[in-house]
Amino acid sequence: MAIKKGALNTQDFEVSQFVRLRDFIYMKTGIFFEEKKLYLVKKRVNEHMSLLEMADFDTYYRFLKFRDDGTEFQRLINLLTTNETYFFREFDQLAVFAEECLYEVCARKEEAGIKRLRIWSAGCSTGEEPYTLAIILLEMIDDIDDWDVKIEATDIDTKVLERARHGVYGKRSVRLVPEEYFQKYFKTVSGNYRIDDRVRSIVRFSHLNLMDERKMRSIKGVDFIFCRNVLIYFDERSRKEVVARFYDAMNPGGYIFLGHSESLSRITTAFNVKKINSFIVYQKPLTAEKSGR
Ligand SMILES: C[S@@+](CC[C@H](N)C(=O)[O-])C[C@H]1O[C@@H](n2cnc3c(N)ncnc32)[C@H](O)[C@@H]1O
Q: Which CATH superfamily is domain 91-283 in?
A: Vaccinia Virus protein VP39 (3.40.50.150)
pLDDT in tens, 205-253: 999 999 999 999 999 999 999 999 999 999 999 999 999 999 999 999 9
DSSP letter string, 17-76: HHHHHHHHHHHHH-B---GGGHHHHHHHHHHHHHHTT-SSHHHHHHIIIII--SHHHHHH
What pTM, to 2 d.p., does this model score?
0.94
Predicted confidence at residue 2, as pLDDT, reads 58
Predicted confidence at residue 10, as pLDDT, reads 45
User: Hey, whose CA ends up nearest to atom 13 of ligand 1?
Assistant: 123
Q: Is the CB of 82 under 6 A from ligand 1?
A: yes
Atom of ligand 1 nearest to the CA of 89: 9
- As a CATH number, domain 15-80 is 1.10.155.10
Q: Is the CB of 157 under 6 A from ligand 1?
A: yes
Predicted confidence at residue 156, as pLDDT, reads 98
Predicted confidence at residue 14, as pLDDT, reads 81
CATH 3.40.50.150 residue window(s) in the chain: 91-283
Q: Is 155 a catalytic residue?
A: yes
Q: Is the CB of 265 under 6 A from ligand 1?
A: no
Q: Are 184 and 191 in contact (CB under 8 A)?
A: no
Below-70 pLDDT ranges, the chain:
1-13, 289-293
Atom of ligand 1 nearest to the CA of 160: 27
Predicted confidence at residue 56, as pLDDT, reads 87
Predicted confidence at residue 7, as pLDDT, reads 40
Q: Is 165 a catalytic residue?
A: no
User: Hey, whose CA ends up nearest to atom 7 of ligand 1?
Assistant: 85
CATH 1.10.155.10 residue window(s) in the chain: 15-80
